[in-house]
Amino acid sequence: MAQRILVTGVAGFVGSNLAKHFLDAGYSVVGIDNLSAGTVDNVDARVEFHKQDIRDAEVYPLFHDADAVFHLAAKSSLTGCLAKPLEAASVNVSGTLNILEAAWRAKVPKFVYADTSAEYEGIEEFPTPETRVRPIGVYAASKHGGAAFCDSYRELYGMNLTMVRYFNVYGPIRMLRGEPPVIYGNGEKRRDFIYVDDVNALHQVILEDQRSAGKVFNVGSGTNFSVNEVYELIEGLLKTGLKPIYKPDLPGEALVTLADITNARRLGWKPKVDIKEGLRRSVRYIQERVLDAANAGLGQPAGHSA
C-alpha cells in the first residue's frame, strides 16, 4: 500500500506544493489546516483534507496510520507574529507540541519539522552551518520554541526526527498577489532564495534516506541576492511598472542570510533551479493562469500584475 504522509499547513504555500509532490510520486496525503492563512483552493483534490487546528486534540486519530509527518503549519508572517506574539507562541510552540504528542502516541515512524533560517538572526557566519542558532524576533523565537520541543521528544522518546531549516522559499503561488511589493528597509538585505521544487525534492530524499534521522538540514541554494536585485529580476520579466513600497526595517531581521548546504548535499541532493530560471517558471505559471482565466471569460484574476 502507498505510504501515507501527513502534512500540517497543507493549504499554505510550501505545504500545498509538498502535498502535490508526494501525490505525484505515488504517496497518499492527509492534510490538516485551519485555513487561517492558507486557502482550500491551494489544496490538491487528491489530498484527504481536514480543516482542523493543530492545537486541537481532535487531530489525534488522523495520525494512526501515518508513515510520516511533515509539520509545516505555523504563524509564518513576521509582521503577524510581531503584532500578536501570544498567538505566535500558541500556534508555533503549543501547536507543535500537540502535533509531536499526536505523532508520538500514534508511533509515527518519521517526523519532519519545518524550521527557519530566522533561527540564525544573531549569527554572523556566512555561509551559515546548522550548528549554532540565535533567534531574535518573535517569529524566530516561537519557531525556536517548537524546535526545542522537537529536540525534547527526540531525546526523551527516541523519535525519528529531522529538522529542515528553510531559507527563502519562493514559487508561483507566492507571486500571485497582485499588489506592489512591500520591501522592509532599503532593499539591500541579502537573502538565500530556494525554489519550491528543490525543497520538495529534498523532502523526498529526507523521507527515504535513513541517514537524515536526528539531523538538521539547511534548505537553501548557497547563493544570495539583495531584495532589490530580486525585484529588478521580477520586474524585468513582468514589466508591470509597479514600484516597491519601502517600509521601515522590521526589528530583529538579519542583514544577510546564506545557507551552508553541505549536509543536504551529502544526501545526494543539490539545488537544480537557479533564481533566474525559478522566476521565469513562476512568471510563466502566472501568465498561463491569466490566459486560462481570460479564455474562460472570467477576465483577469486580481493577482495578475505583480
Q: Which residue, 39 or 287, has its beta carbon nearer to ligand NAD? A: 39
Q: How far is the CB of 211 from ligand NAD (least distance, A)?
A: 23
What minimum distance in Å lies between the beta carbon of 36 and ligand NAD?
4
Q: Are strands 193-195 and 168-170 parallel, antiparallel or unpaired?
A: parallel
Alpha carbon distances (Å) from 80 to 36, 83, 113: 12, 5, 21
How many Å apart are CA 81 and CA 77, to the nearest integer? 6
Provide the mask over 158-197, with x wherever binding to ligand NAD is found by CB under 6 A and - wherever it is not. --------x-xx----------------------------
Is residue 121 involved in binding ligand NAD (CB under 6 A)? no
- Run of H or E residues at 79: helix 78-83
Interface residue with ligand NAD among 13, 63, 111, 120 (CB under 6 A) is 13
**Shortest Å distance, C-beta 184 to ligand NAD:** 15
91 binds ligand NAD (CB under 6 A): yes
Is 220 a binding residue for ligand NAD by CB under 6 A? The answer is no
CA-closest candidate to residue 81, choices 198, 252, 197: 252
Q: Identify residues 130-159 at the interface with ligand NAD (CB under 6 A).
A: 143
List 3, 4, 27, 37, residue binding ligand NAD (CB under 6 A) = 37
Q: How far apart are CA 286 and CA 306, in angstroms?
A: 9
Contact with ligand NAD (CB under 6 A) among 28, 98, 116, 282? 116
Kindly give the pairing relationship between strand 68-71 and strand 4-8: parallel
> 88 exposed, middle or buried (CB, 10 Å; 0-12, 13-18, 19+)?
buried
Please say whether the beta carbons of 250 and 182 come within 8 A.
no
Contact residues: ligand NAD, CB under 6 A: 9, 11-15, 32-38, 53-55, 72-76, 91, 95, 114, 116, 143, 166, 168-169
